[in-house]
Amino acid sequence: MFRSRVAGGMFGTSGVRGPVGEEVTASLALAVGRALGVETDRVVVGRDPRESGRLLTDALTAGLRESGTHVLDTGLAATPTVARAVGWQDADAGVSVTASHNPAPDNGIKLWQESGQAFDEEDQDRIARRIEDERFDLVPWDELGDRTEIDATAHHAAALRKAVTLDEPQTIALDLGNGAGGVTIDALSGLDCAVETLNAQPDGRFPGRPSEPTPENCESLRELVETTDASVGLAHDGDADRLRGVTGAGEFLSGDVLLALFARAAVVESDVENPNVAVPVDTSLAVADALAPLGASVTYTRVGDGFVAARATRESVVFGGEPSGAWIWPDQTLCPDGPLAACRLVALASERPLAERAAGIDTYPIRRESIETTEKRRVMERVETRVETEFADVRPLDGVRVDLDDGWFLIRASGTQPLVRVTAEARDPETCESVFETATTLVTDALAEKVD
């Protein structure tokens, strides 16, 4: 079972993710625990509200303990709480049992380094090979590791309160999406903000709204902000590693605009000469344009918070972010910290209304679409072959990005779902549609081609 999973790539851009009982099972979690236990003495473990997380956490911790590893169990906790607790607890690694923004039938496993950065490809490959070869190091009965419950959430909330300063307390509308982001309530309440919540009861079925905080899924939040005196609306996904925002006027901020706002603030606050902001290759031109007047620039990475975090370790990088809602302040942590982003956004709103800030960011037409396919590898191979022969300026950093005189497009396979993602942008709507059609046609033609 594990041999086929490893051969096909056990870990995606955000760890192991998939349907429970099919791709993600207790036996897989047990094997991951055993493999990680070979190289660790202390590991922090936590989970999001999905009911399957209890079973998977038990299996994972059993594998760790059989290897002699001591488990520090946060219980239900935001993924950034788990990641940051690795350093706070002087542990060797961390594990989040979560499928993040994926739907309720899914779950997953994400691994964290001592620094709070996600395991990189080399780290993940090492664990996967150990599982494939069943190279474990189980200990006798009298050397088993123990399992201790810890309260990392209180520590996280305290760290958030220290990280920001508000000009004055704000009234906040917060949509937790039935996820694990309750630490944001604790932090903002501790900053004397009035917090009105939506979907605040943790429930892994996500009955209030789908887990991913998209504009469509956050319509209730937008309406709440628009009809109250809230200065900002905040929305998390299931494990609170993501944060999306709504202005006091009820406008849902696009991921690119929010990235530009966070990036500009980080550059202004830094004393770094020629600062960079790390962004994935599917980021809008609007971010680079917003940074240019400040003497800052973007540095492109592959899509995935782990790749952004790896680039953020460079001294010149003052911030890293993804339009999907993952935000990294390297002076605080190398994990995407949705609750920290929530507090930072409230701080920006306390200084100047978010609607005014957003109005200062030039935006361009951009289209993003995901095309379902169970053959994403074959599709990408065919797309890459055509792109290399038909276009001159091709960047194969992550999938293929093609820069044109009047725009650009990116085609890449999702690292966690059976999807091929297409992004296209241009400085006027007509060109954007034309570029998007060119890109999507490349994918649909590849899908239609018969297997040799």
Concatenated DSSP letters of 93-125:
EEEEE--TTS-TTEEEEEEE-TTSPBP-HHHHH
Enter the tokens of residue 214: 């998209």
Nearest to 52, CA basis, from 101, 19, 94: 19
What pLDDT, on a 0 to 100 scale, did the predictor assign at position 13? 63
What pLDDT, on a 0 to 100 scale, did the predictor assign at position 452? 53
Enter the tokens of residue 144: 């088993």
Active site residues: 100
How is domain 366-448 classified at the CATH fold level?
TATA-Binding Protein (3.30.310)
Q: Is 429 exposed, middle or buried (0-12, 13-18, 19+ CB in 10 A)?
A: exposed
pLDDT digit string (tens) for 104-120?
999 999 999 999 999 99
What pLDDT, on a 0 to 100 scale, did the predictor assign at position 450? 64
Tell me the residue length of the chain. 452
- Half-sphere exposure (CA, 13 Å, Cβ side) for 2? 18
CB 399 within 8 A of CB 380: yes
Cα distance between the two ends of the chain: 27
User: Which H or E element spans position 440?
Assistant: helix 429-448
Task: Break the chain into its structural domains and give their ranges.
Answer: 2-150, 155-359, 366-448
What pLDDT, on a 0 to 100 scale, did the predictor assign at position 417? 79
Task: Give the helix ranges, DSSP H, for 270-408.
Answer: 285-291, 305-312, 338-351, 354-359, 376-390
Three-state helix/strand/coil letters over 18-76 = EEECCCECHHHHHHHHHHHHCCCCEEEEEECCCCHHHHHHHHHHHHHHHCCCEEEEEEE
Nearest to 432, CA basis, from 440, 420, 424: 424
CATH number assigned to the domain covering 155-359: 3.40.120.10
CB 411 within 8 A of CB 420: yes
What pLDDT, on a 0 to 100 scale, did the predictor assign at position 415? 75
Angle of helix 376-390 versus helix 429-448 axis, rounded to 10: 120
What pLDDT, on a 0 to 100 scale, did the predictor assign at position 434? 96
User: Which H or E element spans position 233?
Assistant: strand 232-236
Predicted model pTM: 0.91
Q: How far, in Å, are 256, 264, 285, 363 from residue 290 at the CA level?
A: 11, 7, 9, 10
Q: Is 141 exposed, middle or buried (0-12, 13-18, 19+ CB in 10 A)?
A: exposed
How is domain 2-150 classified at the CATH fold level?
Alpha-D-Glucose-1,6-Bisphosphate; Chain A, domain 3 (3.40.120)
What pLDDT, on a 0 to 100 scale, did the predictor assign at position 406? 84
Strands 93-97 and 106-112: antiparallel
What does the pLDDT profile of the chain (452 residues) look like in tens digits?
Answer: 343 344 346 786 678 999 999 999 999 999 999 999 999 999 999 999 999 999 999 999 999 999 999 999 999 999 999 999 999 999 999 999 999 999 999 999 999 999 999 999 999 999 999 999 999 999 999 999 999 999 999 999 999 999 999 999 999 999 999 999 999 999 999 999 999 999 999 999 999 999 999 999 999 999 999 999 999 999 999 999 999 999 999 999 999 999 999 999 999 999 999 999 999 999 999 999 999 999 999 999 998 899 999 999 999 999 999 999 999 999 999 999 999 999 999 999 999 999 999 999 999 999 999 999 999 999 999 999 999 999 999 988 899 999 998 899 999 998 767 899 999 999 999 999 999 999 999 999 999 986 55
The yes-or-no answer to whether 2-150 and 366-448 have a common fold is no
